[in-house]
Structure 1
Amino acid sequence: MSIQIPTKEEIMGWIIKIYQKGIRRPGYDADYWVENWLEEKLKEFGINRIILEPLKIKRWKTKNPKLLIWKEESPEKILELPCFPIPYTVPAQNLTGEISKNLEQEKIVLGRLNLIKLPTSSLKHLTNKYYDPRNEFDSLNQLMPTGFFHNLMNDAISNGASAFIGYIANYPWDTCEYYAPYDAIEKRIPGVWISPKGGKKVSKLLLNHSVHAKISYEATNEKVKTNNVYGILEGNSDEWVIISTHHDAPWASATEDSSGIALVLAQAKYWSQVPKEKRPFNLLFLWNCAHMAGGKGGRSFVGKHKKLLEKTVVTIVLEHIARDCKTVEGKLIPTDDPVVKWWFITKNSELQDLTLNAIKKEGLYRSVVMPTEGFPPGSEHPPTDAAPFHLAGVPIISLLSAPPYLFDPADTLDKVHIESIEPITRAIIHIIEQLKGKTPSDTRKQV
């Protein structure tokens, strides 16, 4: 029987199926659906060791947001602005107050956030291992999906603000549906996002007027159960390789992380066809829960499986196969190119080199081998689902792309870089094959 690598059409079909189930936040119906669907797919592949490992989390839900704005001298002239409640904030029922750009007690604080603009050339200060055959990195700029939001709202809370209104001034399109922060820490005041246009409108009013607002929305933060899902294939070894991602998302989210779910599933299908005696390791295919609830699923798995992790040669994490976009008249237009691929790899020269060789072999341009610490500055772990494994001392290869639409419903099916799907699948297979005979002590040797 010939062993077939899943095609991009098959893998994209899985992504479409997941995406079409709708919003997949932790504990939502679509999230439960994908847990059951993964179990069914693993059984279809002949993988019989399947575990759904339960975890209690907080499921945050919101509805009926409304924001009204008016000048103090003309309260009859009310402006209604579209808004989206900030995740894990408390609900508001007609909360009314004066808006201030300053951190003032009992005021509704207006916060202006900018997404980080990262020149790709700056990454050369972190690494000399990258694949840029088109010589783009010196001129390429990447708009990240994050800024320093936590400082803004936390400062407002600690200074006694009654509520918070935030906007992202440099969002390339006009949206208020920004699902962040997703740390699952309850914020003790209400807060909403408004669009860049809405934020600039309120800011302009504040130049010459006292401005008031009324905020209303429902929100619940209910304890529910969700599951880490994993399947196991035994190999010709006592050692393990874990291939992982997360199964929840901020929205229906085609790249975050329908694409990662499908890429791990592609590995499961491929290796299920390989006879046990030819599999170089025991293989564990893991889909973590609650990534969008403070990464609780990954931390739980690592905490529960310390003995297994001692025998793990590497954990490979696959997230966000994203297409680059340009903005034309306030609309996102997909291009032919991928968003820059960050490969966070443990400081082991063999792991880094064999990954870079696989990247080059498969033509995965716009790829950078990144350090597992120090990005963002001061961080002790990568900004990926591999963080708990790294902190536990497990060697990692963690692939991530970070487009600006990552936490927005604009993460639609046309944002998946389908051209990268098969090359990444082949590259991961090649890496696992090249690691044959390696032990955990081998991959834990630092450069």
Structure 2
Amino acid sequence: MHHTAHDRPRTVRRRTATLATALVLTAISPTAASAESADPRPGLASTTQLMNTIRDVIGFAPRSTGSVGGRRTADYVARRFRAAGLSNVHFETATSYAWAAKDSSLSVAGRTVPSFPVSHSLIAGPTATGTRTLGPKGRTAGIVDVGGRGIGSTDVRGKWVLFDLKFELPLAALIPFTTFLWDPYFRILNTEALFAANPYLTNQATVTDQATKAGAVGVIGVLSDYFDSNRYRNEYYRRSPMKIPGTWITKKAGAEVRSRLTTSSKATMRLTTTRSAVTARTVVGFLPGRSKDTLMVQSHHDSQGPGAVEDATGTSEVIALADYYGAQAKKRGYKARQKTMMFATFDTHFTGYQQHQAFVKKYITDRATPYNIVANATIEHVGKRATVDKDGRLRVHDDHEPRGIFENLSVPLKIALDAAIVRRNLHTTAVLNSTLPSKLLGGIPTDASFVLQAGVPTISLIAGPLYMYDDADTIDKIDQTQLRPVALFFADMLDKLDATASTTIGQGSLLGLKK
């Protein structure tokens, strides 16, 4: 990657940052890190091969749960797992719910406003199916603008609630959980990055729950922290099924609506939604080891739009690692690894995580299989950094989105993890201890959350680019320069985990002593 003068590495002495005192910073230069990365691990996929897999996966989009694209993607991953030499390749299934909208429109004070329906809105309940509609003429009501604040005691009964969708988890909020930072180009330790918006945690569920309880007709969400797109495809928030209708409008459209609002202004929304029960398919395959203690390698293959960064990249990384370790097992004189390896790409990431919960129940909490999952490695979102420019347009930069690795490993493994980050130059990466955020938030914002909550030591790589819930998540957003380094990093850690006694992997074992 080409670096401008602004991007070139600087030592800590040349940059005064009050936040740096809270972080552990390495003094090794990126050049030194690259030199240590000289071992290419022959047989591990090249960037070109990783991109070929990504193109295949994108070609099935949209890969929504229960869709033709979703089924074709699962079939493709299963074929790749079998070709890699994995055994017991099969689908884990669960019931989930597909949602679709049609006849969606919004007008305010008689003027049409470009809009996009809030995903999973206007449903009857968590497991409810069927069609719901606002009717051929839609629903007309007055508007109450609550801005970016909660509804509180505002009277919204029988009204549309106009609110600002806020992204509530900037990088700065994760500093208390950061134990190590590899940021040689200072792309994290700057104000723009630390306070940039990402779509992981929002006020959507809070506002819609309040609106429902207060008797509002529905909500009109202004994408105030977003770029100039209304095609924001939010996940299904399983704790807050959205029974009222909703639609998204851009920040610019919101400003225009607000400029015309009067106390007598009315809005008309049209929306028809259909929700149906579907079968989710998670693809699982195994590379047997000398024991049933199992290392799990995970991502998710479903998407709502093109899903290039989220998560064709993660799926490609899992397949690449399956190919790599499968090829080793085919070599003459191969000695089986100490631990079994499980490779999995999940479904239901956007529709309620039903498959994740069913998997944890079967493989971990109720343990209905012979496999004892002793560690998890989850890979998601290898993508370029994006910001919103002064005109509201999405600006994609030629460097990686700031990312985190959530972990709850023993001290020796944590030291090995930090070293592997530097060795493979996974720059712009913060290591985050997962224990406290898991307790405070009821999980972590990654696909590994349910496995972690079930007590499995976890290494979970995640980034939150602004475009990841949008149709703008296209192949040009992938940071190709980091695809192979990510694979190398995880191969390093999987080998380290295989060589570590199962009882000394987790954070609870402190210095790597047996529990």
What's the TM-score once normalised by structure 1's chain length?
A: 0.92
For 2:324, the aligned partner's letter is Y
Q: Name structure 1 gaps, 5 residues minimum.
A: 71-77
8 Å CA contact 2:228, 2:394 repeated in 1? no
8 Å CA contact 1:26, 1:248 repeated in 2? yes
**Quick one: percent identity of the two aligned structures?**
23
2:373 aligned to 312, 316, 330, which one? 312
Alpha-carbon deviation of 1:53? 1.5
For 2:454, the aligned partner's letter is A
| Aligned counterparts, 1:358-397, within 5 A | 358-375=420-437, 378-397=440-459
Q: 1:100 to 1:52 in 2, by over 3 A?
A: same
Tell whether 2:283 aligns with 1:283: no
* Moved segments of 4+, more than 6 Å: none
Alpha-carbon deviation of 1:103? 4.5
Matched with 1:255 is: 309
| Aligned counterparts, 1:116-127, within 5 A | 116=168, 118-120=170-172, 123-127=174-178
8 Å CA contact 1:52, 1:227 repeated in 2? yes
1:21 aligned to 60, 66, 91, which one? 60
8 Å CA contact 1:280, 1:432 repeated in 2? no
Alpha-carbon deviation of 1:427? 0.8
8 Å CA contact 2:438, 2:453 repeated in 1? no
Tell whether 2:198 aligns with 1:166: no
Tell whether 2:245 aligns with 1:201: no
Matched with 2:50 is: 11
Alpha-carbon deviation of 1:81? 1.2
Matched with 2:497 is: 435
Q: 1:181 to 1:286 in 2, by over 3 A?
A: closer
Tell whether 2:255 aligns with 1:235: no
| Structure 1, 397-406 or 346-355: larger mean CA deviation | 346-355
Structure 1 CA distance for aligned equivalents of residues 171 and 91 of structure 2:
41
1:212 aligned to 260, 266, 288, which one? 266
| Structure 1, 417-426 or 298-307: larger mean CA deviation | 298-307
Matched with 2:148 is: none
8 Å CA contact 1:373, 1:382 repeated in 2? no
Q: 1:109 to 1:294 in 2, by over 3 A?
A: same
Q: 1:386 to 1:103 in 2, by over 3 A?
A: farther
Matched with 2:277 is: 223
The Cα offsets for residues 123-150 of structure 1, whole Å up to 9 and x where unpaired, read as: 4432231211223433133321142111
Matched with 1:134 is: 185
| Structure 1, 94-103 or 259-268: larger mean CA deviation | 94-103
Structure 2 CA distance for aligned equivalents of residues 396 and 324 of structure 1:
25
Structure 2 CA distance for aligned equivalents of residues 149 and 337 of structure 1:
30
Q: 1:174 to 1:377 in 2, by over 3 A?
A: farther
Matched with 2:474 is: 412
Alpha-carbon deviation of 1:119? 4.7
8 Å CA contact 2:93, 2:355 repeated in 1? no
Alpha-carbon deviation of 1:377? 8.7
8 Å CA contact 1:372, 1:380 repeated in 2? no
Q: 1:282 to 1:377 in 2, by over 3 A?
A: closer
Alpha-carbon deviation of 1:183? 2.2
Matched with 1:74 is: none
Matched with 1:177 is: 231
The Cα offsets for residues 193-223 of structure 1, whole Å up to 9 and x where unpaired, read as: 11111112222222x4521111112211101
2:360 aligned to 299, 302, 311, which one? 302
Matched with 1:97 is: 141
2:205 aligned to 134, 150, 174, which one? 150
Structure 2 CA distance for aligned equivalents of residues 321 and 288 of structure 1:
17
What's the TM-score once normalised by structure 2's chain length?
A: 0.80
Structure 1 CA distance for aligned equivalents of residues 55 and 44 of structure 2:
19
Structure 1 CA distance for aligned equivalents of residues 370 and 380 of structure 2:
21
For 1:370, the aligned partner's letter is L
Structure 1 CA distance for aligned equivalents of residues 303 and 115 of structure 2:
20
8 Å CA contact 2:386, 2:467 repeated in 1? no
For 2:189, the aligned partner's letter is D
Q: Name structure 2 gaps, 5 residues minimum.
A: 1-40, 123-132, 146-153, 511-515
For 2:362, the aligned partner's letter is K
Q: What is the DSSP-based 3-state SS (H/G/I as helix, E as strand, rest coil) of the residue aligned with 2:234?
A: coil
Q: 1:437 to 1:21 in 2, by over 3 A?
A: closer
For 1:222, the aligned partner's letter is S
Structure 2 CA distance for aligned equivalents of residues 22 and 183 of structure 1:
22
Structure 1 CA distance for aligned equivalents of residues 387 and 356 of structure 2:
33
8 Å CA contact 2:297, 2:376 repeated in 1? yes
Q: 1:351 to 1:269 in 2, by over 3 A?
A: same
Q: 1:290 to 1:335 in 2, by over 3 A?
A: same
Tell whether 2:455 aligns with 1:401: no
Matched with 2:28 is: none
| Structure 1, 359-368 or 173-182: larger mean CA deviation | 173-182
For 2:208, the aligned partner's letter is M
Matched with 1:33 is: 72
For 2:143, the aligned partner's letter is I
State how many pairs are aligned: 436
* TM-align CA RMSD: 2.0
8 Å CA contact 1:116, 1:147 repeated in 2? yes
Alpha-carbon deviation of 1:117? 6.3
Structure 1 CA distance for aligned equivalents of residues 158 and 504 of structure 2:
58
Matched with 2:158 is: 106
For 1:106, the aligned partner's letter is G
Matched with 1:351 is: 413
8 Å CA contact 1:235, 1:277 repeated in 2? no
Matched with 2:20 is: none
8 Å CA contact 2:101, 2:273 repeated in 1? yes
Matched with 1:75 is: none
